[in-house]
Every structure is written in C-alpha cells, then in structure tokens.
C-alpha cells in the first residue's frame, strides 16, 4: 500500500483488524509486520494516535564528495542551518590526530544543526584548520555553505575519507534533532583534504537514521 502510494506520507495506516481482513493474515502476523516497518523507519507511532507512514529517506550516493547544501539543493530541498557553537580553540588529541597537526594548534569548531525543508536532518561538528577557515568567522554560517565559503577563500577541496557507523541518538542530541532518545542514527566521520593533500576538516556528524540512507555503486 505504501509502495503503490495508496498510503502516503503522514497518513494513518489501517487497523490491524482491517489489515487481517484485506490480506487474509492473522492478527499476530499483522502486528509483526507493523513492528518491523516501525523498526525500519517506514512507519512511526504516535502515542495515543496510531501508526503513520513516515517520510521517504534522503538517498545519498557514497562515492561523491559533496556538501550538505549541494546534496539537499540537488533534491530541490531548502537548506537551513542553526549554528549551535562556533569557537576558536586549541586542538585536542583526537582532532589533532585526524588533522595531522600538533595538539594545541588553533582550530575552529563549528557545530551546526542542518535542516532540509525545515526538518532537522543532522548535527554536524566540523573542526577546521584556523588558517584555512578563518574567513568563515566573519560569515553568518546559518545561511552559508561552509564548502562554498572555503572555495571562495581559495581552498581547493580535493577528496575525503569517510566512515559510517550505526549509533543511537543520545538525549541531548535527540532534543535538537527532534527525535526520541535512543532513535537510530548514522554516525558519519569525514576528514577532508585539499589539493595539496592537507587535511583541513575533521567532521563528526549524527544523521537521523529515519531520514537518511547511503547507497553506493560496487564494481568488480
Ligand atoms: C557535508 C559533510 C560535512 C561538510 C558539510 C559542508 O554535510 N558531511 O563534512 O562539512 O557537508 O556543508 P555546507 O557546505 O553545506 O556547509
């Protein structure tokens, strides 16, 4: 029913009894199927109201180095960000290792909530080499693209190393992302390099598991 769009985003699904009649299945089977679809993020439950069809996930091709702004624009979605933190600070051991600099080196930490069509999608914390990104300190990063600003400042973005891990959204992040604590998430880490091979960005982001899906093309 969802695939044929008989049931659309935000719609209440039929009752277990109706599903049993329609498909000639037992109540247990119907309940199980609904539970699985809730777990997969295809359906969501609202206390006291029922079970509804969730929005389609944003599908992201893993092989291309793009920015959040480019990704969402490509899909015709409006991008907005909330800057939660933007600080100049010394690099701690983890950030220093990823950026291949000494501990204590000056970096810019930028934490943003990224929205698409007004809906929270991800929480991103970028750690940027101060010398490369200092121009962004003068820019309103709630309205600008980090990568566009860096390019404008002469940075030639070349490639990135990225990893994906399954995670659960913690309590503080859950509130900002507008999901229940313990919801599924994708933890994405990226180290981005410029054309000279210098690592200028280390990002840790929490993407909502119910809104995001990664795809890739595999070749033999
Ligand atoms: C993606 C990447 C981040 C990068 C960001 C830049 O979301 N995962 O590593 O910092 O794009 O996005 P924008 O240029 O829209 O600010």
pLDDT in tens, the chain (220 residues): 998 999 999 999 999 999 999 999 999 999 999 999 998 889 999 889 999 999 888 888 888 999 999 999 998 999 999 999 999 999 999 999 999 999 999 999 999 999 999 999 999 999 999 999 999 999 999 999 999 999 999 999 999 999 999 999 999 999 999 998 999 999 999 999 999 999 999 999 999 998 899 999 999 9
Q: Looking at the structure, do residues 109 and 11 belong to the same domain, yes or no?
A: no
Structural domain boundaries enclosing 14: 1-56
Contact residues for 54 (Cβ-Cβ < 8 A; gap 6+): 9, 41, 42, 43, 44, 210
Q: Which atom of ligand 1 is nearest to the CA of 79?
A: 15
Domain boundary among 13, 33, 56: 56
The pick from 62, 66, 67, 69 for probing ligand 1's pocket by mutation, whose C-beta has the most ligand atoms within 8 angstroms, reads 67
Number of domains in the chain: 2
Looking at the DSSP bridge assignments, the partners of residue 206 are 123, 187
Q: Looking at the structure, do residues 14 and 100 belong to the same domain, yes or no?
A: no
E strands, the chain, are 43-46, 50-53, 58-61, 79-90, 106-116, 119-129, 157-168, 184-194, 199-208, 212-215
Ligand 1 binding residues, C-beta < 6 A: 67-69, 124, 126, 145-148, 190, 203, 205
pLDDT for position 37: 93
The pick from 58, 60, 68 for probing ligand 1's pocket by mutation, whose C-beta has the most ligand atoms within 8 angstroms, reads 68
Residue 220 lies in a domain: no
């Amino acid at each position: 029913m969802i695939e044929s769009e008989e049931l659309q985003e935000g719609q209440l699904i039929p009752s277990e009894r109706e599903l049993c009649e329609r498909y000639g299945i037992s109540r247990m089977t119907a309940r199980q199927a609904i539970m699985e679809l809730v777990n997969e993020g295809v359906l969501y439950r609202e206390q006291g109201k029922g079970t509804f069809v969730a929005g389609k996930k944003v599908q992201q091709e893993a092989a291309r180095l793009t920015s959040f702004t480019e990704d969402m624009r490509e899909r015709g979605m409006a991008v907005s960000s909330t800057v939660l933190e933007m600080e100049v600070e010394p690099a701690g051991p983890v950030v220093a290792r990823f950026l291949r600099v000494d501990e204590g080196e000056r970096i810019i930490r930028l934490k943003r909530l990224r929205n698409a069509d007004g809906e929270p999608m991800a929480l991103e914390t970028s750690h940027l080499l101060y010398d490369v990104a200092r121009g962004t300190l003068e820019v309103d990063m709630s309205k600008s693209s980090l990568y566009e600003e860096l390019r404008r400042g002469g940075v030639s973005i070349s490639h990135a190393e990225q990893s994906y891990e399954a995670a659960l959204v913690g309590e503080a992040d859950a509130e900002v992302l507008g999901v229940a604590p313990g919801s599924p998430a994708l933890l994405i880490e990226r180290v981005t390099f410029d054309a000279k091979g210098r690592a200028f960005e280390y990002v840790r982001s929490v993407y909502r598991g119910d809104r995001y899906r990664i795809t890739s093309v595999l070749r033999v």
